[in-house]
Amino acid sequence: MIIKENVKAQLQERNKNQGRLLVSCPDKPGIVSVLSTFLHNQGANIIESSQYTSNPENGIFFIRIEFRCENLIERAQEIEEAFEAIASVHEMDYRFAYGNQVKRSAIYVSKETHCLVELLWEWQTGDLNTDIVVVISNHEEARYMVESLGIPFYYIPANKDIREQVEAEQIELMKKYDVDLLILARYMQILTPNFVSHFENRIINIHHSFLPAFIGAGPYERAYDRGVKLIGATSHYVTNDLDEGPIIEQDVERVDHRDRVADLKKIGSLIERRVLTKAVKWHLEDRIIVKKNKTIVFH
């Protein structure tokens, strides 16, 4: 854990003067100039910028700007207050994020731990810039792995008969650990609308299917029965519509008639690991803007 803490400290020090600005607004000429001029006047240097317009005529404009500014931590409130006037004139939805503010994540897992293992490895190497502050599971399989890394582990049995009680306990834990992001790393429980409402666009799920195909349980079995030639995985934000939230990342692998259900699951587990990890990284790096049920992801 000393190594991990050293990596975290180095990242915070390196990123302390780095900020991100995400904006969406009605498209019109000059928006990029307005934003770049504002940041220039604040003494900021733009180091990365990505933009997208949903429609060349009467569309919505989206942009993510990464910038550096001396003494950013001390000046953040001043900069945000100055930006409010510009945002009002141009009808902007926006948010600032800061490199020294590391998001706090909770991981939910059931019996299968392959996605959890991938996330923990990326976290240990410093490639997943978050504090994993707690792991919650309805099975005991992952306890030793998690606690050996100094992360609190909570075993909370869950089923439909006690779901309301379980979720009340989980919500309290999220408050206790001041969690910013919930990662469902093959947590095989359906969340209620009440639970989801507490964490809008802050719950990321991995579904072991290339959505919108094979929504719900048993996708590999149904894919095998259908004779698919491609299998995939989808990471998305959780909404009250089962497996229909805004999609963040997807990937596929080719299979054929020789592959049985067990083969599909083995191949699929590799896809799930990389898809979930990418989606979590995009969120942690503030690369996602959610618009209705779609995402704009600035890779």
Whether 164 contacts 192, CB under 8 Å: yes
Strand segments, DSSP code E, in the chain are 18-26, 45-53, 60-68, 93-98, 103-109, 130-137, 153-155, 181-184, 203-207, 230-237, 247-254, 288-291, 294-297
Is 243 an annotated catalytic residue? yes
Give the Cα separation of 136 and 209 in Å (integer).
23
Written as six digits, the tokens of 43 are 């003494």
Give the Cα separation of 75 and 266 in Å (integer).
50
- Strand, coil or helix: 131: strand
Written as six digits, the tokens of 237 are 């934000």
- Strand, coil or helix: 199: coil
Looking at 131, 180, 241, 243, which residue is catalytic?
Answer: 243
Give the Cα separation of 120 and 36 in Å (integer).
37
DSSP 141-181: TTHHHHHTTT--EEE----TTSHHHHHHHHHHHHHHTT-SE
Catalytically active residues are 243
